[in-house]
Amino acid sequence: MLQIYSFSKYFVTSMGITAFLLLSPFSHCNTIAPPKNPDLPVSVGMDPSWHGLHFEGHEENMYAYSCSVLHLLNTHFHVIRTEQMEAFLSSKGASRHPALLVECPTVALPSQIWSVPIFPTGHVLVVQKEDYLPNQETFLTTWKGNVKIVAAQQGIDLSPLLRHLPEVLIKEYEEIRQAYEDLDAGKVDALYDAAFFAHIACNSVYKNKLLIATSPLDTKGICILMKGCYQGDINLLNQRILQLEKDGTLEALRKEWGLPHVPYPKDFVFSKG
């Protein structure tokens, strides 16, 4: 079994891969005819080092989990190393690989579509144990209208948090580990952090001290990104992903590969079009 929970210094960023996705042509629909048979496997490119994403020492775990899921989705997948990712995304000749497994950006180009996440990576609120409420809606309602100090990584997108709690005051940190220490010491009221790392922290260093109060407040996740002309394939993949989530298969695979349980956002929209 690969390493399970640990917590150390990290810095979360996906701006590099997002920039590539938004700036590159990402092949052309007229170079790859969409399969006539929707049951035909889809070729998915993936980078096992995750090219700009950090999973706190769990990169191999996430790679093994992703391979397992792609296999169950009846897709072909091809390893694309970090140094090849930029060339892959910017190459007009990348027609042999009509899809990528990436953390999908919050906003995609009109010509891009993405699947339901196979693993949500959005941001959650972390609170001290005594401030935790088991019902998310009750928790958010209780906090609305109250001025709370929320710690967050410097430079991240705070709009999902502010949509839910517009009155909060944000205290930004260059080092997110210090934010966890300050929350544990009661110097801030809550912490807004990526769900993956929040689950690791709350199940290791801060177990029985800090708890996650919400599901992800944004809809980012590890998804299959494709051109818009593959809407039929995305629809089929979404059905399969949702079935795997519904019957507990994805959760079983997360446990098998030592990954934390991250629920889908409460207001997640499972189709895009």
Question: What pTM was computed for the model?
Answer: 0.75
> How remote is the C-alpha of 57 from its chain's centroid?
16
Location of structure tokens 């490119």 = 45
Question: How many other CB atoms are there within 10 angstroms of residue 75's CB atom?
Answer: 19
More confident call, 170 vs 77: 170
Mean pLDDT value across residues 20-41: 40
Check if the beta carbon of residue 191 is closer than 8 Å to that of residue 185: no
Residue 31: the pLDDT is 37
* pLDDT, tens digit, 9 for 90 and up, residues 165-178: 999 999 999 999 99
Of the given ranges (28-37, 56-65, 123-132), which has the lowest mean pLDDT? Answer: 28-37
Distance CA 190, CA 44 (A): 38
Residue 210: the pLDDT is 97
Residue 93: the pLDDT is 40
* pLDDT, tens digit, 9 for 90 and up, residues 167-211: 999 999 999 999 999 999 999 999 999 999 999 999 999 999 999
Residue 13 pLDDT > 50: no
Distance CA 103, CA 135 (A): 28
Mean pLDDT of the chain: 77
Mean pLDDT value across residues 30-40: 42
Residue 17: the pLDDT is 35
The pair of structure tokens assigned to 39 is 């049951």
Confidence of residue 59 (pLDDT cuts 50, 70, 90): confident
Instruction: Delineate the domains of the chain, giving CATH numbers in brackets.
Output: 15-120+222-256 (3.40.190.10), 123-212 (3.40.190.10)
More confident call, 36 vs 50: 50
